[in-house]
Amino acid sequence: MKLFPHLIIILIISSCSSNRTNKKTLKKIDEIDFSVGFAPSVIKHFAYNGEEYVGFADFKSFKKIKLFNINARSQYSFSIKDIIKNELVYINGLSFSSPDSIALLSSSGTSKLFIVNKKGEVIYKKDYSFLKGQETALYPPIEFKGNQIRVGLSYYGKENTPALSKEYYDNFFKDKNESYIMMSDTLFRGHTLPTLQMDSLYMRFIPKSVNNTEMNHLLYLDTKNIFYSTYSDSVYEYDLNGQLKEVFSIKSTKTKTKVNPISISEMMMDKNNLFIKNIEDNSYIALLLWDKFRSVYYAIIPGKKMSAKKTPFTILVLDEKFETLDEFTMNPDKYYFTRFFYYPCFVGKKGLYIQNQNKDVKNTNYSIFTYE
């Protein structure tokens, strides 16, 4: 009988330690410093011939693209000033198919796509500006893989969006809607026309009386596209033919994810500030990343902005079916997140790269986390 309490204690200890070893966590394993030389507005990670690369771009001030391998060794850097000057466009989309094949998308409704080589020379150009006459424009994010491009598409119109159908596709440019959708195009097959791949998305969440402007929330994967919205706590999984396959609800255990859209009349009276404040004060799925090496998604959920440079955020780790595995609170004094324009994180073979708070704008320093 005297042995009984001892056995209980041993059992408790062994079960605790077994839990501890099974419990995965988001563990910081390393830091890496990319000497970019400018503050990037776009970051793209990609793999080519078994090597990992990270491309950085600034389209506003320095107008440069710089490529590193994953060990932060510089591969090349080139200016895009000539493209901007010669083509009379601004650039806001970037995607690498290989280190020597880079897609650039022009902004502000000009809808031009350029494929450049590692010297920054334009080797292929495709003009979608005919869309502008139909109040339609291409928007990032773009994904350039093989000979195909996937890109966001915005258009404006009157009616509510019908379900995706042959008629809808046929009448796509006639029955325009306020919406943000995506299309794909086979780049190098002559005069191919864009293929509509998703039906309308915004209209699922909000009536026409409210402002539907938000960030571009599309995650392009090899076999599917995933859409998520500031105004929804769900993610929408589409196959590559544009069929909605499944809707998954995502729940943060630490933050209430809810943004109520503001009305267009309110927004007009307030010159956009209300929209910014609404986004900055609330939590939502701001970024979704797929980690193919560990078969998990990371959903970044920002909290209320603390100061000009500090936004608290959590990282939700989700399995392939978007079931929550865990959620981690990140220290905004150490780690940088911004809701607008550019998301300073990416996934590589080593893990999840999160940008550190950094005093030196010309060095982009990351912490690497693994979920294990």
Q: Hey, CA dihedral for 236, 237, 240, 245, is it positive or negative?
A: negative
**Per CB under 8 A, does 160 bind another protein?**
no
* Cβ nearer to another protein, comparing 349 with 362: 362
Q: Is 70 helix (H, G, I), strand (E, B) or coil?
A: coil
**Binds another protein (CB under 8 A): choice among 49, 61, 260, 295:** 61
Cα distances (angstroms) measured from residue 16 to each of 10, 154, 371 = 10, 53, 20
What is the number of H-type helices and E-type strands within the chain? 5, 24
Q: Residue 309 interacts with another protein (CB under 8 A)?
A: yes
Distance between CA atoms of residues 227 and 229, nearest Å: 7
Nearer to another protein, 73 or 309 (CB): 309
Do the Cβ atoms of 352 and 8 come closer than 8 Å? Answer: no
Taking the complex as a whole, the smallest distance from the CB of residue 341 to another protein amounts, in Å, to: 5
> Should residue 112 be labelled a site residue for another protein when binding is judged by CB under 8 A?
no
Beta-bridge mates of residue 353 = 346, 368
Subset of 240-299 contacting another protein (CB under 8 A):
271-273, 275-276
258 vs 362 by CB, closer to another protein:
362
> Does residue 208 interact with another protein by CB under 8 A?
no
Q: Report the residue number, 20 or 271, with the smaller CB distance to another protein.
A: 271
Q: How far apart are CA 66 and CA 41, in angstroms?
A: 12
Compute the least distance from the CB of residue 188 to another protein, in Å: 32
SS3 60: coil
Shortest Cβ distance from residue 107 to another protein (Å)?
A: 10
Stretch 37-56 residues interacting with another protein (CB under 8 A): 38-41
Assess contact for 69 and 53: CB atoms under 8 A. Answer: yes
Task: Please report whether residue 346 would count as binding another protein according to CB under 8 A.
Answer: no
Identify the CA nearest to 138 among candidates 115, 117, 109. 109
| Segment interacting with another protein (CB under 8 A) among 165-173, 201-209, 257-265, 304-312 | 304-312
The DSSP letter of residue 164 is S
Residue 66 engages another protein in binding (rule: CB under 8 A): no
Q: Which residue has the tokens 């920054």?
A: 120
Q: Can you say how many angstroms the Cα of residue 73 is from the centroid of all Cα atoms in its chain?
A: 25
Closer residue to another protein in complex, CB, 248/342: 342
> Among residues 92 and 200, whose Cβ is nearest to another protein?
92
- Applying CB under 8 A, the residues found at the interface with another protein are 38-41, 58, 60-63, 271-273, 275-276, 307-309, 340-342, 359-362
